[in-house]
Amino acid sequence: MYKYFVRPLLFNLSAERAHYFTFSLVGFLCKIGFSSLFKSLYVVNDSRLEREVFGLKFKNPVGLAAGFDKNALLYNEFSNFGFGFVEIGTLTPLPQDGNPKPRLFRLKADQAIINRMGFNNAGVFDAVDRLKKKHKVLVGGNIGKNKVTPNNEAIKDYLICFEALFDHVDYFAVNVSSPNTPGLRELQDKEPLTALLSKLKEENSKLALKRNVKEKPILLKIAPDLTDEQLLDIIEIVRETKIDGVIATNTTIARDHLKSDLVHTEEKGGLSGKPLTSRSTEVIRFLSEKSHKEFPIIGVGGIHSPEDAMAKLDAGASLVQLYTGFIYEGPALVKNINKAILQAQI
């Protein structure tokens, strides 16, 4: 029903307007009692789907990637569509509008999206107010820096977000890989990245001790555009800093073999969707094999079918996340992936 009725209606709207309309509609429908209907349609309840990863117990291994619920508005509501976890953000210390509009573009012929949103969000403290309510699903907090913060002061921004969210999220995703904040990807270089992650680990220990709780898992979200040498550096950094895992991958700045017209393909920003499927899986396999599976990987990028998800799990991912595939394929994709995982276990 989604692909034949709902998606055509949404695709008649601009991409960003469709996003906000969908948010409002999902929130409204859940508020007036449609949650049970959504659960009956999309949730697969089976203990065989449960996964314990970096000390957390996931109901199933399919999550909603960061960028969809930036401001932690509907994380509980999205659990009604069958997700085993929801990653909110990217959040920054101060509110920011992001880049000028238009900044979100559909590449229909490629089943892809280009975005240059620029960490638009209402600020971490605004999100905390909503995150205080009971969670029906595991929630990850994706954190970044404000655009106006220079890289040599970036650690301060990440620490502000980390401390603000510590009591309210189940794990952290450190975003240094978005192409839409000037200079951000420079933080993926070995020296600044090691310094950032080491400082977050130190803060993690302090906050856990102060609150008499366990430390929160810290994951690093990386770009698909890293070279093999840079990926080997990532493995070394994970080992050295002892963070808990990697999210592979963010959007790409590459524009290889696209079918859509140049008007759209030449837009600046990060590309997500089907063109990223193979590369993100390659990165997962490389990290898994070269690290000898020393740390968990969340696989994300171009998952539009159960087969795409299974390929990432087979490559070494412990969990997967959806974003663009969820937009193009609809919520049935979550259910179909979980059913395929069950079938593969038989």
In the numeric block, the tokens 């989604």 are attached to 2
Q: Is 69 exposed, middle or buried (0-12, 13-18, 19+ CB in 10 A)?
A: buried
- Give the Cα separation of 155 and 115 in Å (integer): 25
> Is position 178 annotated as part of the catalytic site?
yes
- Of 14, 35, 177, 178, which residue is the catalytic one? 178
Q: What is the Cα–Cα distance from 210 to 273, expressed in whole angstroms?
A: 42
Q: Are strands 245-248 and 112-115 parallel, antiparallel or unpaired?
A: unpaired
Q: Which residue, 91, 118, 96, is CA-closest to 16?
A: 118
| Residues identified as active-site | 178
